[in-house]
Each structure stands twice: as structure tokens, then as C-alpha cells.
């Protein structure tokens, strides 16, 4: 063996030892971490006329008292031909943290046998809610309105049309019925931009 081969062998051996030490030193700098992010859940609170309905998203209620227009010819607090009345449903999103889509289904079958008595309009402020093909009145409470605790007041106007074709039916109603309820179904859900 010559001296050159021995030197190459020693150099290779030293290189392997230095590489092993450097590799072992480098591998000691391994770190790891873990985390558990927490997602905060948005609040969902909706009241209708001060009743929390979020325990059940669809709730049937009977309309509140009807306020009748003044008349010199009809006693207070009753309906009769030619009279209009209104009732209000206050939808309060205070405390919620999402935009809201609400729909109202007014069960007009309750007075379907009295075609002279009709829902004349459904409004929120000056906005007239149109009855959809599905028979529902719908609108939204935007996230900005929710953040401002904006209460939406839905005003429903009911009218008993004065029409001579209904005189006999009007007389029958006046002689046989003391009152009738108008069931309303209100459904609220998170609004995600779908058409209302």
C-alpha cells in the first residue's frame, strides 16, 4: 500500500466522521407545535312580538289585536262592511349575529268563506311585501340592521269590502260570527343572499 492510498483512506474516514457529526448536530434542531383553534359560534336570537321563536324556527301564532280605523257609523273594536283594520308583528333580531330571511304565511283560509274580507296589504315601513307564488310574504333583515338591533314592524291591513253583491253574506256573518282568528306562520332563517 502506498502512502497516497493511506492518505486517501484517512481522508475518506475523516470526511465520514465529520459528515456524521454534522448530520447528527443538524438533526437535533427539529421542532414541532400543535394548536386547537376555537371557532366562535354566531348567536341566533329572534323574537316576534317579544316572544323568542328561535327554540322552534317555525311557530304559528294568532295575530295580535287589530286596530280598526275610526268610524262614525261602526262601533269601536269591531269589523263590519267598509271597515279597515291593521295589526302588527314586530320581528326583533337583537342579539343575533347573522342576517335574517323571514317569511310570513297568513292563513286566509280562516276567512275564505267570506270573500269580502281580505288582506289588503302587508308592509314593512313603506316597503310593500308582495305575496309570492308560494303564498308567502318575505323580506330580510341585513347584517347591518341586525348589528343595529333594528326591529322590523310588519303591518298587515285587513279590509271588509262594501259591495252590494255580499249583502246577504254580510248579514249572515253579522248574525252568526262573533270573531275569527287569523293564523300567521312566521319562519326565520339565516339569510345567505338568496332571493327573498
Which cell numbers in the block locate residue 114?
A: 267570506
The range of the structural domain enclosing residue 70 comes to 47-190
Task: Report the CATH number at residue 87.
Answer: 2.60.40
Q: What is the DSSP string of 5-55?
A: HHHHHHHHHHHHHHHHHHHHHHHTT---------PPPPP---EETTEE-TT
For residue 74, tell me if it sits in a domain. yes
Query: What is the number of structural domains in the chain?
Result: 1
pTM for the complete prediction? Answer: 0.75
For residue 77, tell me if it sits in a domain. yes
For residue 22, tell me if it sits in a domain. no
For residue 7, tell me if it sits in a domain. no
Note down pLDDT in tens along the chain; length 196 residues: 677 777 766 766 666 666 666 555 555 667 788 888 899 899 988 988 888 888 765 666 666 788 889 989 988 888 888 889 999 999 999 989 999 999 999 888 877 788 888 899 999 999 999 999 888 999 999 999 999 999 999 999 999 888 889 888 888 888 887 777 788 888 899 999 887 5
CA distances from 84 to 66, 80, 109 (A): 10, 9, 19
For residue 163, tell me if it sits in a domain. yes
Q: How many whole angstroms separate alpha carbon 196 and alpha carbon 184?
A: 18
For residue 174, tell me if it sits in a domain. yes
For residue 33, tell me if it sits in a domain. no
The SS3 call for residue 80 is coil
Amino acid at each position: 500500500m502506498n502512502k497516497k492510498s493511506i492518505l486517501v483512506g484517512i481522508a475518506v474516514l475523516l470526511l465520514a466522521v465529520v459528515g456524521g457529526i454534522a448530520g447528527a448536530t443538524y438533526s437535533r434542531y427539529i421542532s414541532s407545535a400543535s394548536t386547537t383553534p376555537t371557532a366562535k359560534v354566531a348567536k341566533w336570537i329572534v323574537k316576534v312580538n317579544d316572544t323568542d321563536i328561535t327554540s322552534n324556527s317555525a311557530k304559528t301564532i294568532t295575530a295580535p289585536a287589530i286596530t280598526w280605523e275610526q268610524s262614525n257609523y261602526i262601533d269601536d273594536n269591531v269589523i263590519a262592511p267598509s271597515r279597515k283594520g291593521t295589526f302588527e308583528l314586530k320581528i326583533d333580531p337583537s342579539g343575533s349575529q347573522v342576517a335574517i330571511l323571514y317569511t310570513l304565511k297568513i292563513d286566509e283560509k280562516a276567512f275564505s268563506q267570506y270573500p269580502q274580507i281580505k288582506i289588503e296589504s302587508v308592509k314593512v315601513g313603506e316597503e310593500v311585501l308582495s305575496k309570492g307564488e308560494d303564498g308567502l310574504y318575505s323580506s330580510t333583515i341585513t347584517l347591518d340592521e341586525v348589528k343595529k338591533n333594528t326591529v322590523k314592524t310588519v303591518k298587515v291591513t285587513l279590509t271588509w269590502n262594501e259591495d252590494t253583491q255580499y249583502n246577504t253574506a254580510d248579514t249572515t256573518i253579522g248574525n252568526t260570527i262573533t270573531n275569527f282568528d287569523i293564523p300567521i306562520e312566521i319562519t326565520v332563517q339565516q339569510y345567505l343572499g338568496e332571493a327573498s
